[in-house]
Every structure is written in C-alpha cells, then in structure tokens.
Structure 1
Amino acid sequence: MAVRLSPVRWALILLVIGLAGVAAAGALWWPGGSSAEVRRVAATVVAPASCGGSDAYDRVEFKIDDETRTARLDGCGHQENEVVDIAIPADTSGDFMVQVADSAPVKVPFETRLAAMLVCLSGLAGGLYAHLLGRQTQATASADAV
C-alpha cells in the first residue's frame, strides 16, 4: 500500500514547480545583452599600428550610407589594405572606435535561451519523478515487510 501525500504537501510541491517555471520563463525573456544595435561592415586597414606602443590602434576606412569614414580599430598588427569585418556602434558622430566584428558583444539568441529553459524544466521534472518513484518503492517495500 502506497503512502499518500496530503493535499497541503501536493500544493507545496506544485507551488515550487510553478515558481521554478516562472523563474525559467523570466530568465528566457530577460534581455540577453547590450541593447545598442551594431552594424557589421567590411573595412580596409589604411594605417596599421605596431602592437608595442601605448597607442596601438590601427586606422580603418569604411563606407556608411555612401559616405567614406575612418575610425580607430580596437586592435593592432593588421597589414595595410587588409580587409577586416568590423562592428560599428549606433552613434558614429565625432571620432569613435570600432571593433572587429567577431569580438563585438552580441545578444544571446532566443533559441539558445529557450533550449536552456527547456533543459532546466526537464531536469526539474525528472528529479520530481525520481523523487516520487523513490517514495513509492520505499512505501511498497515497507508494506511488503509487514
């Protein structure tokens, strides 16, 4: 004979599962990175810099809205006339610095956050199921012993 859980205990278990689901959903829709949008364009290195100095920034030239601009590249050691993909910040007024596109921070994709939430919820459900099976086998073993 299996031991039955009281309605209060079931309510507590369901409350914990519900709160875990709400927390996982909140983590899913939480902003995944910087909100500033960046544009990716190809740039040409026009003034390479040696990596040994304190001002070790290459100068690059690129086009934005049919206008050719130059900016400092947050990096050094490139060859002159080398083409580099860069990330341009939203504000391009004045003298600004650009980054190599592969090193610029990006948002975590929605699919990745969804997959993480589903893995957490399935782990929680599997743990609850294992807990219930363990309690049932203990109750069955104690009932058989009597």
Structure 2
Amino acid sequence: MRVPFALPASALKLAAVAAFSVVLALGLAFAGALGHWSSGPETVTTVSATVLAAVPCDGSGSERVSYLVDGGKQEAFLDACGHESGESVEVTVGDDVVHLARATTGATVDARPFAVVLLVFAGIAGAGFTQLRRRV
C-alpha cells in the first residue's frame, strides 16, 4: 500500500521563507552591482589647461596649471610631472582634484559588481552548509 507524499506545513513555510530570502538577497545584490547605491567618483569635466609651473620627474612636487571652467579662470595643482611651462594639456577637473585626462591607474574593469554577486552566493552557500551541518 502506498502512502501519499505530504510535506508538513512547517517545511513549506521554511521553504517559502528561504526562497523569498534568496530572491530578496539577489535583487539587492544586483541593484547594488548595477550602481544604484554607488558612492562612485564625483562628476568630472575635461578641459584644456596651461602649465604654469613645471616640475621635473624627480619627486620634488606637483605642477601648477591654469584652466577655464564655467567662464572663470582657475588654478590648481596637477598630479603630473615632466611638462614644460606654457604647454597645453588635457585635464579632468573634479571637486578639488585635477588629473591628466588620458591617465589611468589600476584595473580597467570595475570588479565590484562581480564581488557583490559572489558575496551573496557565498552567503547563501554558507547558510545552506549551516543547515546541513545542523542536521548531523
């Protein structure tokens, strides 16, 4: 004689809560990975600047540049070296920082979205392992 398969109500509730938690965690992770809660860099503007004070590349300081932004002439320190006084360079202007426009540092691919998603999957795997370990 066959006994009909029936799950207890508590198991169904636990499965529903676990599925909801996984979907919520993945939704939040993907929202964060897509930059919805990003605290990324401020808006930058690319302008042409003129080197006022050149510095050799021996580690003795920063160059000073002059540029026009929003109709006003501004001066700032440029984190570069080896240019000549009066030379025109393309710079990106942030809130209080001036960098060369074509300079890049570090990796060219932002790995934070992948890290967030992998962290969520690691948490889910850890929770599953804890549930398996608790049964023993």
SS in 2 for 1:16: helix
Give deviations 1:76-135, integer Å, cap 9, x for gaps.
1123443322122346xxxxx522234589xxxxxx89xx48xx49xx7xxxxxxxxxxx
1:57 to 50, 58, 62: 62
Sequence identity of aligned pairs in percent? 31
SS in 2 for 1:61: strand
Asked if 1:82 is matched to 2:113, the reply is no
Q: Which residue of 2 aligns with 1:30?
A: 37
SS in 2 for 1:62: strand
State the superposition RMSD in angstroms: 3.9
* Distance 1:9-1:62 versus aligned 2 partners, 3 A rule: same
Q: Which has the higher contact order (CA 8 A, sep 6+)?
A: 1
Q: Normalized against structure 2, the TM-score is what?
A: 0.53
* Distance 1:61-1:18 versus aligned 2 partners, 3 A rule: same
Are 1:48 and 1:80, in contact at CA under 8 Å, matched by a contact in 2?
Answer: yes
State the aligned residue count.
106
Asked if 1:43 is matched to 2:24, the reply is no
Asked if 1:67 is matched to 2:58, the reply is no
Whole-angstrom CA distance in 1 between matches of 2:72 and 2:28: 47
Query: Which protein has the bigger helix share?
Result: 1
Q: C-alpha displacement at 1:30, in angstroms? A: 0.7
Q: Which residue of 2 aligns with 1:100?
A: 100
Give deviations 1:56-76, integer Å, cap 9, x for gaps.
211222212333333221211
Query: Where do 5+ consecutive residues of structure 1 fail to align?
Result: 92-96, 106-111, 125-146
What amino acid is aligned across from residue 98 of structure 1 in structure 2?
V
Q: C-alpha displacement at 1:37, in angstroms? A: 3.0
Whole-angstrom CA distance in 2 between matches of 1:90 and 1:69: 12
SS in 2 for 1:37: coil
